[in-house]
Amino acid sequence: MRQGSVHIYSGDGHGKSPAALGRAVITAALGKSVVIIQFLKGKGLADTEFIRRLEPEIKVFRFEKSDVNFFELSEEKKTEEVINIKNGINFAKKVLATGECDLLILDEILGLIDNNIITAEELKNLLQVRDEETDVILTGISLNDEICMLADEVSRIETIKYGQ
């Protein structure tokens, strides 16, 4: 039996989510299933026609209701969205516990920790319910030793030069 692994794509550079999406496409091309859950992305990928064409191999979920970036919302709307985000975390837990996919991407989940929506301990508990063969990719800007200890592999993405 193959042991699944946890990968983190982190850093202040652009390209973390595209790197994770690239892994999703490679995984799907091998005949495996992928679930992507996006957090803090505004509209995100969930409604794009292109992503819908990749189903059923790659399924994208977004539990936030607002198309506006989370950080631009009023405090009242943020409170509502936190409930939706927690629903997304619970869905991720179900996906991991049931082994529903071969690769689960939790896009921008590290941002949830940065913004005190979840704790590092909650992320650790989430990862502990995973089916042994499921690979998980976590993305986000910030990283600390406690989060690094959850991963088998950490990739730091940084922008050397951006724009002209």
For the entire predicted model, the pTM comes to 0.91
The tens place of each residue's pLDDT in the chain, 164 residues long, gives 567 899 999 998 888 999 999 999 999 999 999 999 999 877 666 556 777 788 899 999 988 888 777 778 888 988 999 999 999 999 999 999 999 999 999 999 999 999 899 999 999 999 999 878 999 999 999 888 999 999 999 999 988 876 66
Q: What is the pLDDT of residue 161?
A: 74
Which two three-digit tokens encode residue 142? 């910030």
Q: Quote the pLDDT of residue 13.
A: 80
What's the token pair of residue 115? 């913004």
Kindly compute the dihedral angle of the four CA atoms of residues 134, 105, 90, 41, in this order, to the nearest 10 degrees: 180
Within the chain, strands assigned E span 6-10, 34-38, 58-62, 103-107, 135-140, 153-156
Report all structural domains of the chain as residue ranges with CATH numbers, in order of start.
32-156 (3.40.50.300)
Residue whose tokens read 């910030």:
142
